Amino acid sequence: MVTYTLKIVDIRNETEDTVTVCFKQPALRKVKYKAGQYLTLIFRINGRRYIRPYSFSSAPSVDKLIEVTIKRIPNGIVSNHIHDQIKTGDSVEVFEPMGEFIYHPNEDVRNVYFWGVGSGITPLMSLIKEILALNSEIQVNLVYGNRNFGTTIFNHVINELLVKYKDQFKVWHFHTQAVLSEDNTHVIEGRIKEDRALDILTKIYAPESLHYICGPSGLKESVKTVLNNIGVPLENVFVEDFELVKDPKDFEDIHTQVINLKFENVDYTLEVIKGKSILESALDAGIELAYSCQTGNCSTCKGICIKGELKMIGLSNERSDLMINEYLLCCSHPLTMDVCIEI
Ligand X SMILES: Cc1cc2nc3c(=O)[nH]c(=O)nc-3n(C[C@H](O)[C@H](O)[C@H](O)COP(=O)(O)OP(=O)(O)OC[C@H]3O[C@@H](n4cnc5c(N)ncnc54)[C@H](O)[C@@H]3O)c2cc1C
71 makes contact with ligand X (CB under 6 A): yes
Residue closer to ligand FES, measured from CB, 145 or 303: 303
* 275-334: contacts with ligand X (CB under 6 A): 293, 295
Sorted by sequence, the CB contacts under 8 Å of residue 17 that are 6+ apart come out as 71, 72, 83
As measured in angstroms, the least distance from the Cβ of 194 to ligand X is: 23
Residue closer to ligand X, measured from CB, 153 or 188: 153
Sorted by sequence, the CB contacts under 8 Å of residue 18 that are 6+ apart come out as 69, 70, 71, 72, 119, 153
Residue closer to ligand FES, measured from CB, 98 or 223: 98
Which amino acid belongs to residue 149?
Answer: F
Per-residue contact track with ligand X, 122 to 151, x per CB under 6 A?
Answer: x-----------------------------
* 273-292: contacts with ligand FES (CB under 6 A): 291-292
| Binder among 300, 303, 333, 341 for ligand FES (CB under 6 A) | 300
Residue whose C-alpha is closest to residue 67's, from 4, 114, 24 = 24
Residue 303: alpha-carbon gap to chain centroid = 23
Q: How many helices (H) and strands (E) does the chain have?
A: 6, 19
Binder of residue 162, out of ligand X, ligand FES, none (CB less than 5 to 8 A by kind) = none
Residue closer to ligand FES, measured from CB, 210 or 270: 270
Sorted by sequence, the CB contacts under 8 Å of residue 52 that are 6+ apart come out as 40, 41, 43, 78, 79
SS3 content of the chain, % helix, strand, coil (to 5): 25, 35, 40
Please list the residues that pair with 342 across neighbouring strands.
262, 304
Side-chain half-sphere exposure of 36, counting CA atoms within 13 A: 21
Binder of residue 292, out of ligand FES, ligand X, none (CB less than 5 to 8 A by kind) = ligand FES
Binder of residue 300, out of ligand X, ligand FES, none (CB less than 5 to 8 A by kind) = ligand FES
The footprint of ligand X (CB under 6 A) covers 38, 52-55, 69-71, 73, 75-79, 119, 122, 240, 242-243, 293, 295
The footprint of ligand FES (CB under 6 A) covers 291-294, 296-301, 328, 330
